[in-house]
């Protein structure tokens, strides 16, 4: 037969209970009923009770993972037990004897531990449970620690953004100089040719005039592309891309992009091998955004393809829903461990730290392709080149 629980003094109350309440008018009567019942129990069996208003200390409700109030939690002795619902008094009546038994077991175990330690060391052992107030304090410290962690993370993100913008300004000043200089030379030469027509210098042939105009337009497009990429990156990865899809002839757009980059390829005597089927279906995409993707990937291909190398571009009606575009170079390739990371914002390969660019082109490409519900990926063999692939949706008349 189990012995009745021993009478505890007010100085020794290992039974610790939290009562979580709220200020809802409907819960007021139920809370008063619970508090009256706890007061009656306390007259015969002391325990430590703390009433917590979840409106004033929501972090404690989160700490104990409460989903409803009012709620009773026995936090000591172990095991912790939580009671919730509209019949808390009935639940507590059923649990009360077990809670008392857990206190008896705790005191018995503590007495045995103290006895064994006294035999060995003649020093008393204190195994008093922590006070409820200290538990609440610890929870507040945890909340403050989380807030400090979040603030540190925000600070690191802001510092990274500031550092990135400083790099952008520095690289922008450097990289814009080349196309600006080239465009200026073309304009100045055209100006001299115009003066020549008035008898003040040499005349330009029609072919040379057309070439200079084409060169100037190409350099201005380069500047425009750089500024567009930078502005898009400055908006951050969370910014939503404005996609305005429409019927688009992908082959014609690709030919236009190749023509705009012709001087880029010519500067390194590179050959472009294009395989664009004449029966390629119409895609449903934003023309300017797709132009950005094609230009960025082809520009990268020109950068990494060696002098007199070859760049391959092909388009394939892969499924009834998708067209796949592949752009391949015969450059150094992408290390296997970096093939996923190259699409991250501002990520640059170690070998490219001294190269021009901002590390934002491929991340922009990924965001644009995903906004079209497509996929983008890279296949690469070290020292043999890389192939970048992406897909776009086929236009369907029922859209």
In-domain check, residue 348: yes
**24 with 123, same domain?**
yes
Domain boundary among 179, 204, 234: 234
Q: What is the pLDDT along the chain (399 residues), one digit of tens a residue?
A: 444 444 444 445 688 888 888 888 888 888 888 888 998 888 888 888 888 888 887 877 777 778 788 888 888 888 888 898 888 889 999 999 899 888 888 888 887 776 665 555 555 544 455 555 555 555 566 567 667 878 888 888 788 777 766 666 665 665 676 678 778 888 888 887 777 666 655 677 788 888 888 878 877 877 776 676 666 655 554 445 678 899 999 999 999 999 888 888 988 999 999 999 999 999 999 998 899 899 889 988 998 899 999 999 999 987 778 999 999 998 888 877 777 777 775 554 444 544 444 345 787 788 889 999 999 999 988 888 899 999 999 988 644
Query: In which residue are the tokens 């897909």 written?
Result: 391
Query: How many domains in the chain?
Result: 3
**218 with 258, same domain?**
no
Rounded Cα gap, residues 1 and 61, in angstroms: 40
Reading the block at residue 311, the tokens are 């760049």
* 307 close to 270: Cβ distance less than 8 angstroms: yes
Q: Kindly report the pTM of this predicted structure.
A: 0.48
**269 with 228, same domain?**
no
Domain boundary among 205, 234, 263: 234
**219 with 101, same domain?**
no
Secondary structure (DSSP) of 279-314? TPPPEEE-HHHHHHHHHHHHHHHHHHSPTT-EEEEE
Q: Which of 88, 116, 78, 100 is nearest to 20 (CA)?
A: 88
Domain that holds residue 346: 246-393
Please count the other Cβ atoms lying within 10 Å of the Cβ belonging to residue 65: 7
**224 with 254, same domain?**
no
Rounded Cα gap, residues 241 and 246, in angstroms: 15
Domain boundary among 204, 234, 264: 234
Rounded Cα gap, residues 270 and 307, in angstroms: 6
């Amino acid at each position: 037969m189990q012995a009745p629980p021993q009478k505890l003094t007010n100085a020794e109350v290992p039974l610790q209970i939290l009562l979580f309440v709220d200020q809802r008018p409907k819960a007021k009567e139920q809370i008063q009923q619970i508090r009256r019942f706890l007061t009656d129990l306390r007259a015969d069996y002391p325990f430590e009770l703390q009433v917590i208003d979840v409106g004033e200390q929501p972090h404690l409700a989160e700490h104990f993972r409460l989903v409803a109030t009012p709620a009773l939690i026995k936090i000591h002795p172990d095991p912790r037990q939580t009671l919730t619902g509209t019949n808390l008094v009935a639940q507590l009546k059923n649990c009360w004897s077990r809670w008392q038994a857990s206190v008896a077991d705790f005191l018995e175990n503590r007495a045995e531990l103290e006895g064994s330690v006294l035999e060995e060391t003649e020093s008393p052992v204190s195994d008093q449970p922590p006070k409820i107030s200290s538990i609440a304090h610890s929870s507040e410290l945890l909340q403050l620690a989380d807030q400090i962690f979040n603030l540190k993370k925000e600070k690191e993100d802001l510092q990274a953004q500031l550092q990135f913008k400083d790099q952008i300004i520095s690289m922008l000043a450097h990289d814009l100089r080349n196309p600006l200089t080239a465009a200026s030379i073309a304009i100045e030469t055209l100006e001299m040719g115009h003066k020549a027509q008035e008898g003040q210098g040499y005349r330009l042939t029609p072919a040379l005039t057309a070439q200079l105009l084409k060169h100037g337009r190409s350099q201005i497009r380069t500047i425009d592309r750089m500024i567009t990429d930078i502005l898009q990156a400055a908006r951050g990865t969370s910014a939503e891309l404005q996609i305005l899809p429409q019927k688009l002839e992908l082959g014609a757009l690709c030919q236009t992009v190749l023509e705009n980059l012709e001087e880029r390829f010519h500067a390194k005597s590179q050959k472009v091998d294009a395989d664009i089927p004449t029966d390629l279906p119409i895609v449903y995409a934003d023309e300017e955004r797709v132009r950005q993707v094609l230009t960025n990937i082809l520009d990268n291909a020109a950068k990494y393809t060696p002098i007199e190398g070859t760049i391959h571009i092909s388009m394939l009606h892969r499924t009834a829903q998708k067209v796949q575009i592949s752009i391949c170079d015969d450059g150094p390739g992408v290390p296997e461990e970096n093939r996923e990371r190259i699409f991250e914002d501002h990520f640059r390969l170690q070998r490219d730290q001294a190269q021009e660019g901002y590390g934002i082109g491929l991340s922009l490409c990924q965001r644009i392709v995903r906004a079209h519900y497509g996929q983008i990926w890279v296949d690469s063999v070290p020292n043999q080149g890389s192939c970048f692939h992406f897909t776009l949706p086929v236009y369907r008349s029922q859209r």
